[in-house]
């Protein structure tokens, strides 16, 4: 078994282009497309036609006390043009006693933004009201009840979860690509006849398969691990510290994918056909499984049902839950079992089909 395992690594090291390319693509996509350049604050252009520049700055300082949003001073014309040109989605306009939003397009941050601005405005207005009514100045707000949030869930906005989903989803998507493309080797071996060389050695078929599959399993795990490591160290994406849980999830996911590969190879048995089938399967799996966009935006029940059958959905779900909510293995039992179960099913059917094909 180890000879076959070693052989596969030897072949991979001689031709590492595929793996390196997909690793590079993962980083590129996560970095540029998923907008994951560190933790982003959303900037809100703020303008006012009534307030003086000083008054406006005062408001902006007050609004910037919390770090969720970054309010930036601007003027109406610029903001109007930017919204018209779709460069910004929204802007905040302040008047003496009120505020307004200029909204160009719907954005999922808007409701949070409105809530946030509203809360501050109401507080300020109430303070001003008290000051005027009672002729007081320099009021200070004392908090009688301190709320301490312990759960991670509350601290994570839906946007953060979405971005993390994209990071994880992209990494998994490209790893599926490279694992499946790497597995074409197996079919190529059968076609070129080197597989028979392996069969005609004092190795059992089980050992040959085990050697091959262990290689793909490890190669896939290394690829995902490496992508996460680079994203964490170089790009600074927080992926938590639950290494054991992450390891188990990566293992289960890669196992499911390697098994999926075996199934595909059982059905389609020339490398040329596989080169066509793999991108179709991988991309549709990623779309249905929510690697490209959050499944919350999907309403079609059929699509959601199909999504439930995709290993990538469970892989992402488990990873995001572990990173964000510190879920332990026992809490991850559902997605993990789903992955392992899919793996066993695909592997069983796949090997069966493959062996039936090669018997003839």
Partner 1 sequence: MEKVIEINAIEKSFGKTKALNKVSFEVNKGEIVGFIGPNGAGKSTTIRILLGLIKADGGSATLFGKDVWKDAVDIHKRVAYVPGDVNLWPNLTGGQVIDLFLSMRGAKVDKERKEELIKRFEFDPTKKCRAYSKGNRQKVALIAAFSAEADVYIFDEPTAGLDPLQERVFQRCAREVLDKGASVLLSSHILSEVEQLCDRVAIIRQGEIVESGSLVDLRHLTRSQITLKTKEDIHTIDSQDFAHDVTRDKGEIVFQLDSDHLDDFLRFIQPYTVLKLESAPPKLEDLFMRHYESTKGGV
Q: Which residues bind partner 1 (CB under 8 A)?
A: 3-4, 7, 10-11, 14-15, 192-194, 196-204, 359
Considering the complex, what minimum distance in angstroms separates the CB of residue 175 from partner 1? 23
Do 156 and 165 contact (CB within 8 A), yes or no?
Answer: no
**SS3 category, 50:** coil
Calculate the alpha carbon distances from 313 to 42, 51, 167, 288 in Å.
Answer: 28, 50, 13, 8
Nearer to partner 1, 135 or 202 (CB): 202
Nearer to partner 1, 1 or 329 (CB): 1
Calculate the alpha carbon distances from 140 to 131, 136, 137, 143 in Å.
Answer: 11, 11, 9, 10
**SS3 category, 236:** coil
Considering the complex, what minimum distance in angstroms separates the CB of residue 180 from partner 1? 20
Nearer to partner 1, 188 or 326 (CB): 188
Considering the complex, what minimum distance in angstroms separates the CB of residue 198 from partner 1? 7
Query: How many C-beta atoms surround the C-beta of residue 285 within 10 A?
Result: 22
Nearer to partner 1, 13 or 144 (CB): 13
Nearer to partner 1, 271 or 335 (CB): 271
Rounded to 5°, angle at Cα 325 from 319 and 326: 75
Q: Can you tell me the distance from the alpha carbon of 232 to that of 209, in angstroms, rounded to the nearest whole number?
A: 34
Considering the complex, what minimum distance in angstroms separates the CB of residue 151 from partner 1? 52
Considering the complex, what minimum distance in angstroms separates the CB of residue 206 from partner 1? 10
For residue 92, which phi and psi values (nearest 5 degrees)? -110, 130
Nearer to partner 1, 17 or 141 (CB): 17
Considering the complex, what minimum distance in angstroms separates the CB of residue 199 from partner 1? 6
Nearer to partner 1, 161 or 215 (CB): 215
Query: Which residues contact residue 293 at a Cβ distance below 8 angstroms, ignoring those fewer than 6 apart?
Result: none
Q: Can you tell me the distance from the alpha carbon of 130 to that of 136, in angstroms, rounded to the nearest whole number?
A: 7
Query: Which residues contact residue 213 at a Cβ distance below 8 angstroms, ignoring those fewer than 6 apart?
Result: 258, 262
Considering the complex, what minimum distance in angstroms separates the CB of residue 359 from partner 1? 7
Place of tokens 């094909």: 357
């Amino acid at each position: 078994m180890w000879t076959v395992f070693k052989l596969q690594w030897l072949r991979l090291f001689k031709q590492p282009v595929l793996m390196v390319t997909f690793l590079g693509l993962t980083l590129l996509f996560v970095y540029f497309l998923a907008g994951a350049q560190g933790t982003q604050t959303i900037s809100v252009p703020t303008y006012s036609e009534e307030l003086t520049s000083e008054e406006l700055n005062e408001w902006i300082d007050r609004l910037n006390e919390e770090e969720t949003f970054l309010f930036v001073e601007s003027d109406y014309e610029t903001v109007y043009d930017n919204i018209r040109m779709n460069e910004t989605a929204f802007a905040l306009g302040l008047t003496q006693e009120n505020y307004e939003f200029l909204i160009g397009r719907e954005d999922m941050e808007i409701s949070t933004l409105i809530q946030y601005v509203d809360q501050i405005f109401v507080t300020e207005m109430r303070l001003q009201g008290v000051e005027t009514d009672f002729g007081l100045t320099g009021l200070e707000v004392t908090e009688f009840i301190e709320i301490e949030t312990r759960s991670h869930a509350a601290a994570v906005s839906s946007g953060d979860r979405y971005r993390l989903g994209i990071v994880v989803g992209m990494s998994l998507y490209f790893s599926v690509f490279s694992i499946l493309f790497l597995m074409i080797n197996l079919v190529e071996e059968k076609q070129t006849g080197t597989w028979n060389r392996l069969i005609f050695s004092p190795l059992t078929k089980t050992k040959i398969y085990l050697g091959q599959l262990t290689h793909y399993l490890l190669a896939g795990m290394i690829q995902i691990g490496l992508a996460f490591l680079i994203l964490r160290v170089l790009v600074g994406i927080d992926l938590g510290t639950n290494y054991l849980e992450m390891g188990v999830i990566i293992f289960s996911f890669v196992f499911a994918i390697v098994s999926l590969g075996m199934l595909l190879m059982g059905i389609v048995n020339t490398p040329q056909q596989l080169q066509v089938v793999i991108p179709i399967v991988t991309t549709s799996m990623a779309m249905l499984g929510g690697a490209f966009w959050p499944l919350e935006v999907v309403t079609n029940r059929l699509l959601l049902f199909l999504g439930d059958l995709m290993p990538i959905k469970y892989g992402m779900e488990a990873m995001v839950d572990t990173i964000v909510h510190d879920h332990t293995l026992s809490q991850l039992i559902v997605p993990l079992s789903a992955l392992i179960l899919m793996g066993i099913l695909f592997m069983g059917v796949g090997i069966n089909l493959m062996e039936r094909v090669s018997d003839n």
